[in-house]
Amino acid sequence: MGRRAPIRLTRRGRVVLFCFLLGLAGGGVALIAAPGQAADPPVPAPTVIVQPGDTLWDIATEHKGSRGRDATVEDIRRLNHLDGYSIDAGQRLVLPRTR
């Protein structure tokens, strides 16, 4: 039986082979790095409409979660860009998410 000569690639063949392998590697990376579906769709932030006689502390006490009332008051002020501590009836306030 005759012995086969090894395959010899020309410069063009090596470039084509390199580009093909690079494309395969890039496709594999793209598949791995592609984001999957989110577990939960985004949920809108909770809000409350201020009733006559409500204060920030009343609202914070009802919605404080595991945080303290004072920290929740400050979170409400930050989320709603409030300079002070006064709120008006009918005002819609964005609340921090409870943990």
CATH code, domain carrying 89: 3.10.350
Tens of pLDDT along 44-97? 889 999 999 999 999 999 988 788 899 999 999 999 999 999 999 999 999 998
Q: Does pTM surpass 0.85?
A: no
In a domain, 29, yes or no: no
In a domain, 62, yes or no: yes
In a domain, 34, yes or no: no
Count of structural domains, the chain: 1
Its domain, for residue 69, covers: 47-94
Return the ∠ at Cα 11 (arms to 9 and 16), rounded to 5°. 80
In a domain, 42, yes or no: no
d(CA 53, CA 86): 11
